[in-house]
Amino acid sequence: MNEFFDMHVLEILNSYPGETFIQEHCRAILSGNVSVSWVFWQVDRPGIIRPVPVSGLRNCIGLTNPNRISKVRKAISQVLYGKGQEGYIRRQAKEIQQLKPDLIHFHFASLAAQHIKLIKSLGVPFTFSVRGSDVQVDPLVVSGFTDRLSEAATLARGIHTVSEGLKATVSTLAHVEPEKISVIRTAISSNWSSMARRQVANNFISIGRLHWRKGYNDLILAAAKLHKLGHQFTLTIVGEGNARQELEYMIRDLKLEDIVFLPGRKDHKEIAELMATADLYISTSIAEGFPNVVAEAMFSGVPVLAADGSNVSELFADGVDYLACSNSPESVCSGIVKYISLDEEQKKAMIDSAKHKATTYFSYDQHRASFEKLWFGSNKK
């Protein structure tokens, strides 16, 4: 038996029950021989959490967060561990030490940067993930974030990014050698590949938070150009966020209410239903680590048109796949027109190519093996 297979990794997440892509990551890891515990930072009550989000977790607890606990619990904590930040760090350290982890993994760079003092007090080797906004947005809006990120990167035994583009960004931003950073693609459930396709011609879909980084204003402008060219189609943008009002005004002013829809947030089952009927998935992100939903579409057999600013160009090759220029409604519109003109054999070749890449880069086995390599190497003194 491999000497490292008894490793216990404690993963620190933000809010319960954890994002879908983190749950998929955990299922991939648990299909091997590493035991995993989860600790959540954004919970109102510390201690054991039920129900467990992923079957097989060794522990699942809420970590004491001074900004989330009641006044009574805050007073008790101060009596037992002392006042101020140092008191909470002592309490959090005790909660983590009781779980006896061999290694700690922060699922976001922002979490690692936020817990520098806790990391130092524990003395346990740690790694962290970089997924996109934690290095593309946080440095712009969070005071002192870059300095804390650099310190976390220096202390970490290893760093995980979801794309080569993010690896380069982290290396430059945090002043860390590229050899310390491992690119590991997101784990995508193979269940997507068994989805029954019922595609409706010229039914286009895009999924994600309504945020400027997703480039949805470019997508709506592309839809307006496509409509002017006389093409018949529908476009559904699934998600919620602070850009909703702006996008609603655009749809109204461009007179697209009958063909462009913003149905809001949908659950996993509803998204699968929408994906099943999609003729084309469109991603216009201008800044993103790698859009997980693009990988899901690839597995599902849904053709993808993606903007080159979302790191999909690392896997897509124009001429075989469909790439558009970021910040260019004209390029997106041209890509859609090009796709519409394909015959069924050409569309099938596009789908088969995407499925092959999805299986190669986003499988559970590939994800698990890559993380084991990161963690096993990181745990060596």
Q: Give me the DSSP letters along 252-282.
A: HHTT-TTTEEEEE---HHHHHHHHHH-SEEE
> What confidence tier does 69 reach under pLDDT thresholds 50, 70, 90?
confident
Q: Which tokens in the block code for residue 130?
A: 């970089």
> What confidence tier does 5 reach under pLDDT thresholds 50, 70, 90?
low
pTM of the prediction? 0.89
| Topology agreement, domain 8-187+363-378 and domain 192-361 | yes
CATH for 8-187+363-378 (1.10.443.10, 1.10.230.10, 3.40.50.300, 3.40.50.2000): 3.40.50.2000
Q: What span, in angstroms and rounded, lies between the C-alpha atoms of 66 and 85?
A: 8
Q: What is the pLDDT of residues 77-121, one digit of tens each?
A: 776 778 878 888 999 999 999 999 999 999 999 999 999 999 999
Computed over every residue of the chain, the mean pLDDT equals 91
**Start-to-end Cα distance in the chain:** 21
Q: Top-level CATH class of 192-361?
A: alpha beta
Q: What span, in angstroms and rounded, lies between the C-alpha atoms of 241 and 253?
A: 20
Helix (H, G, I), strand (E, B) or coil at 204: strand
In this predicted structure, the answer to whether residue 67 has a pLDDT above a threshold of 70 is: yes
Can you state the angle between helices 145-155 and 164-173, rounded to 10 degrees? 100
> What confidence tier does 321 reach under pLDDT thresholds 50, 70, 90?
low
Mean pLDDT for 356-365 is 92
* Residue ranges of domains in the chain: 8-187+363-378, 192-361
Q: Which tokens in the block code for residue 112?
A: 């690692």
